[in-house]
Amino acid sequence: MKILFLSDLRKKRNTGFEILKTLKKMGYEVYPVNIKGFLPDVKIKNILKFKKPEVLFTFKGVGKVDYKKIDYKFKKKVVWYPDPDIFVGDRFNENLRDIFEFHDCVFVIVKSKTRELKKILGKENIHFLVQGTRFFEYEIREIPEEFRCDIGFIGSLKGKIYSKRREILSGICIRFGKEYRIKMWGSKPDKRENFYGVLNEFHTGKRVFFEDFKRAVLGSKIIVDIAREDALKEEGALSQKVFMITGCGGFLLMHYLKGIEEFFEIGKEIEVYRSLDEAYKKIEYYLKNEDKRREIAENARKRVLKEHLYENRLKKMFEVCKI
């Protein structure tokens, strides 16, 4: 099957490349176009003319592509939107209307919004599908000291949508900073944002991708995580980072998200907290109980390899769309 694949392909770390690799691995003939690149409409037109793809697969879709100009009869047009910002406040994000209306099948990562989306768009083919991972594949022979710590965090701390994240992580830094090694990787908060001083003290100043991401995960005894503000309010809005960390073999302690039980067994494959006090207690417990921590991390890794790879997601997507 021939697939026209549209995604943000500007940087090798972008998730679109992971989807592209997986599609090729599954045996599909894929023609990729960077939706934020130079003249994407022209490139799409040439692919349609000379390659005759049967399926259009858009991953995210926000870019320079004018979907109204795509005059071609596909067997299926599928979009997978991987961010929780489908609604801004209580209102539908109108920037997504043209993209969602153009495609036959729409997949989103926010389970609690699928019913409302069906009403707004007047279409039934809207489905819940979280992201997955393939980051486990990087072989790490040794972990340098710069990646070793007791409590680690990977992700952005910059912007309004991460205010709760900064609050929780600053509490952990204040509570454990003198007793345990804490390291953070990702975008630093701006100097004017809340808790900058506390967080900056423990921040490495680096972002990590690919092999370094896995080194940071495996070098941390505990990886603490908390979703962005809009995701915390919804059901099923898991980011790919959850599957990346567990797929790499890391022990994940994350702020509870509605629907997490559909993907991992709490206390057996991951751990969660619902308050700072609970986070403190579980950090203390698991830092002192290495065997239990390693057991949970290994259980999660096996679950990811079995159920949460991008290949699993794409097979489910194509089955739902009858491709």
The dihedral of CA 294, 250, 265, 18: what is its sign? negative
Residue 215 is predicted with a pLDDT of: 97
Residue 297 is predicted with a pLDDT of: 98
Q: pLDDT digits over 170-218, tens only? A: 999 999 999 999 999 999 999 999 999 999 999 999 999 999 999 999 9
Residue 74 is predicted with a pLDDT of: 97
**Dist CA 59 CA 168 (whole Å):** 32
pTM equals: 0.93
Residue 135 is predicted with a pLDDT of: 64
Query: In the chain, which stretches have pLDDT less than 50?
Result: none
**Dist CA 38 CA 304 (whole Å):** 36
The secondary structure element, H or E, covering residue 252 is: strand 252-255
Domains annotated for the chain, with CATH where assigned, are: 2-132+309-321 (3.40.50.2000), 137-307 (3.40.50.2000)
Residue 230 is predicted with a pLDDT of: 84
- Taking Cα atoms as reference points, which of 166, 248, 181 lies closest to residue 212? 248
Q: Where are the alpha helices (DSSP H) in the chain?
A: 15-25, 40-50, 97-102, 114-121, 163-176, 196-202, 210-219, 229-232, 240-248, 276-288, 290-307, 310-321
Q: pLDDT digits over 61-74, tens only? A: 999 999 989 999 99
Residue 140 is predicted with a pLDDT of: 87
Burial of 215 by CB count in 10 Å (0-12 exposed, 13-18 middle, 19+ buried)? buried
- Taking Cα atoms as reference points, which of 164, 219, 154 lies closest to residue 187? 154
